[in-house]
Amino acid sequence: MTIESVRQSDDPRLEDFRDLRGRDQRGVDSRPGIFIGEQPLIVEAMLESPNQIRRILVSDRKRPWLEEILARHGHPEVEALVAPQEILESIVGFPIHRGVLASGNRMGVDDRSIDDLIPDTGRPGTLLVCESIRNIDNIGMLFRVAAAFGIDGVILSPDCHDPLYRKSLRVSIGHALRIPFARSSDWAADLAGLGDVHGFHRIGASIEGRTTADLLPPSDHHRVALVMGSEFDGLGDVASKNCDALVRIAMAPGVDSLNVAVAAAILLDRYSTAIRA
């Protein structure tokens, strides 16, 4: 594999990275089938699945780093490009301080179903279920939390933000590429199926929960689905009705909520089957 130099901003090989900010604002349809990673840590996570990565683009000063990580990953067949910093910034439309970008294929990610996340029959498991998490930082941080507690997968409601959006991916420190996720197409039916079909005990985090988290025994069930709602609205009626238990985290007087990722970490520390194993 050869690292190639790019010296013209109109080089067609740069098309994946052109006008990142403008295309991000138009959503995944503006870059069909492709996602963008930025910063060295994310690109290294992308290289863990060589078939998923399309191109790597770095500034001239990052060439030694590029050579080192490609060698470390066995010189995968990926298009590797090096360009002057000014070309990178003219292409993407804003300063790229780390000088590292990569494009990846979404192929297979968006087609994943909830059934693909379910552990084999009889095996313990923990799923993180996210309802209406639209904040780009929160969705990324929830994947970082999921990785920390050994979650089997993340289920997203239809309106959750894209975990592979480059900023969310950055906040997740690459774990959105490592933790499998699937997007629900029928929220009520999918939540019901977790319990009725797959045997998950569905625990919803809610300030209206009658039981504090420290009082709900963590060892009653070997399959747990933790359901987290949006930070301001909490769980919706559909999610609440499809939970087997609603729990709240005891807090000091005058404080009624936590950041959703912080709350998820507290609850997963108690209920994750991987941690309890």
Same domain, 84 and 158: no
Whether 97 and 118 share a structural domain = no
Residues 174, 270, single domain; the answer is yes
pLDDT of residue 29: 74
User: Helix or strand or coil: residue 155?
Assistant: strand
Domain check: are 139 and 99 in the same one?
no
Cα dihedral 247, 252, 255, 261 sign = negative
Confidence (pLDDT) at 1:
64
Number of domains in the chain: 2
> CA dist 236 to 132, 189, 194, 230, 243, Å?
9, 15, 17, 9, 11
Can you tell me which residue has the tokens 């290294």? 44
Q: Are residues 125 and 20 in the same domain?
A: no
Regarding whether 139 and 38 lie in a shared domain, the answer is: no
Radius of gyration of the chain (CA): 21
Which of 105, 123, 141 terminates a domain? The answer is 105
pTM: 0.92
Would you give per-residue pLDDT tens digits along the chain (277 residues)?
689 999 999 999 999 999 988 888 777 777 888 999 999 999 999 999 878 899 999 999 999 999 999 999 999 989 999 999 999 999 998 888 889 999 999 887 888 999 999 999 889 999 999 999 999 999 999 999 999 999 999 999 999 999 999 999 999 999 999 999 999 999 999 999 999 999 999 999 988 777 776 666 555 678 999 999 998 888 999 999 999 999 988 888 888 788 999 999 999 998 887 766 5
CB-count exposure of residue 258 (10 Å: 0-12, 13-18, 19+) = middle
* The predicted structure's pLDDT at residue 171: 97
Of 39, 74, 105, the last residue of a domain is: 105
Structural domain of 200: 114-276
Identify the CATH number of the domain in which residue 236 sits.
3.40.1280.10
